[in-house]
Structure 1
Amino acid sequence: MKKVTASGKTIEEAIQKALEELKAMREEVEIQVIENPQKGLFGLFGGKPAVVEVELKPDSIEEARDFLQVLIEKMGVQVDIVSKTDNRETIFDLQGEHIGTLIGRRGQTLDSLQYLVNLVANRNSEGFLRIRLDAENYRERRKQSLEQLAERLAKKAIQTKRPVKLEPMHAHERKVIHTALQNIKGIATYSEGQEPRRYIVITVK
C-alpha cells in the first residue's frame, strides 16, 4: 500500500490516521488535502470531516534498482541485483550468466549503466545519492590489473628514462594509476588530453 485516503475531524487527525495506516513518518509522505472540515448547523448537524490523500514518497534507490532490472532484461541478460551499502554509497552487484555483456570492453558498458542508474536515483531525491555498479567483483579485479600495469610501466620509464604514455582512461581509473605510483621514488604522473581521450603520462623525475 503506497497511497491512502483518510478522514478526521481535523486535517491533522486525518493525516495521523493515514500515517498510521501506511506505517510511515510525516517526512516520508506527500499530503494532499481533498476536503477541508466543515462545521454543521449550530455546530451539530450536517458537518463534514476533513479528507486527505497521503502517498508514500518513492524510494529513489528502489526506483533506480527497478530501472536497472528492466534495462538489463531488455538487453537480453538475466541477472540478480544484490544491493549493499558501503560508507555513503549503495552498491548494486550484478550476478548471473553472461556478465561479460554487462561489463563491456574495459568496463565501458558497466560505467554507462552506472551513469544512467545514478541519473534515475537522483531525479527525485532530496539529497545526492551515489550508486556504484559492480559485476561479480569486476571493479576490484580491474583495480588490481591497473595497479600491476602501473608498476610495470613505471619500471619501464625508469629503465628507459623516457616518459611512458598510457591509453585513455576514465577519471576513476586514472586515479587508481596516480595513487598506485604516488609513493614510488623517482616517478611522477600527470594527465594530458581532453575527455574522453584523457590519458596518463608516467615520467622520471
Structure 2
Amino acid sequence: MTKVVTSGKTVEDAVRQGLSQLGVSRERVTVNVLEQPSKGFLGWLGVKKAKVELTLLSEPSPETTHTAEPHVSAQAPSDVGQAVSQAGSVAQEAQRNMEASRGHIDPYEEAVRFIRETAAGMGLDVEVDVRHRKDESTLDISGPSLGMLIGRRGQTLDALQYLTNIVANRHSDKFIRIVLDAEQFRARRRKTLEDLAERLANQAVRYGKEVVLEPMPSQERKLIHAKLQQHALVRTYSKGDEPNRRVVIAKK
C-alpha cells in the first residue's frame, strides 16, 4: 500500500490516521489536503471533516544519494511568476493547516465566518468590519436588506450577538466580548430608549404613579437606569425574572 485517504476533525488528525495505516513516520510521506474541516451552518449543521491523501515516498537509491546534481530548467518569465504564485499559495495553505492543527485559530475570524454563514442561510450577503476597543470589540455588519437580520427592536441581532460570543470564545484563551451592530442600530436604539426614559419620567412625576416598562434585555435596562440615575425627581429599579424583567420608574 503506497497511498491512503483518511479523514479527521482536523488536518493533523487525518494525517495521524494515515501514518498509522501506512506504518511510517511523517518524513516518509507527502500530504495532499483534499478537504479542509468546516463547522457548517450555525457552527454545527453540516459539519465537514478534514480529508487528506498520504503518498508513500520511495527510498532513494545509493547511487543518487551523493552524486545527483541539482537540475535547473529554463523558464519563461510568465512560468516563473506562475511558479512563485503557486509556491506562495502552497505556503499559505501549509501555514493554515499548521495553525488549525495547533489550535491557533483567530476567534474574531471565526466570529466573522459564523455571522456570514448565518446571514447566507437567511439569503443575505453581508460584509463584517471588526473594530477593537479596550473592553470589547464591535463587529459592524453591512449589506442590503439588513432589517431581517436586525429583527423587531433588535431581537434577532441580539440573539445573533449571543451566539457569536459563544463561537468566538470557543477559540480564545481569555474571555472576549463582542457587540454586533448593523446600520448604526445600536446608536439609534440608544437614542430611542433615552428619549423614552425622559418622557416616562415626566409622566411618573406628573401623575405620581410608578411607570412599568415592557420587558427588556439587560443592556437596554442599563441604558434606562443610567439615563435617569441623576434625575432629581424619580428613581428606577428592576423587577421580575428573565426574560420578563422590567424597569420601573417611580417618583422619589
2:247 pairs with one of 197, 200, 205: 200
Show the counterpart of 1:110: 157
Distance 1:90 1:166 in 2: 29
Show the counterpart of 1:84: 131
Letter in 1 for 2:205: I
Distance 2:208 2:107 in 1: 51
* Residues 155-174 of structure 1: CA deviation (Å, up to 9, x unaligned): 00000001001000000000
Distance 1:88 1:150 in 2: 26
Distance 1:82 1:190 in 2: 36
By how many angstroms is 1:124 displaced?
A: 2.5
Show the counterpart of 1:168: 215
Show the counterpart of 1:124: 171
By how many angstroms is 1:140 displaced?
A: 0.7
1:151 pairs with one of 179, 195, 198: 198
Which segment drifts farther, 132-141 or 87-96?
Answer: 87-96
SS at match of 2:148: helix
Gaps of 5+ in 2: 1-10, 13-94
Query: How many residues of Structure 1 are paired with residues of Structure 2 in the alignment?
Result: 155
Contact 2:106 2:171 in 1 (8 A): no
1:55 pairs with one of 88, 93, 98: 98
SS at match of 1:133: strand
Q: TM-score, normalised by structure 2?
A: 0.59
Show the counterpart of 1:177: 224
Distance 2:148 2:123 in 1: 10
Which segment drifts farther, 171-180 or 59-68?
Answer: 59-68
Distance 2:133 2:106 in 1: 18
By how many angstroms is 1:68 displaced?
A: 1.1
Distance 1:55 1:96 in 2: 33
SS at match of 2:98: strand
Letter in 1 for 2:188: R
Q: TM-score, normalised by structure 1?
A: 0.73
By how many angstroms is 1:55 displaced?
A: 2.2
* Residues 130-158 of structure 1: CA deviation (Å, up to 9, x unaligned): 11100011001100100000000000000
Gaps of 5+ in 1: 4-52
Which segment drifts farther, 69-78 or 168-177?
Answer: 69-78
SS at match of 1:150: helix
SS at match of 2:232: coil
Aligned sequence identity (%): 47
2:184 pairs with one of 137, 142, 150: 137
1:190 pairs with one of 237, 242, 250: 237
Distance 1:179 1:89 in 2: 19
SS at match of 1:122: helix
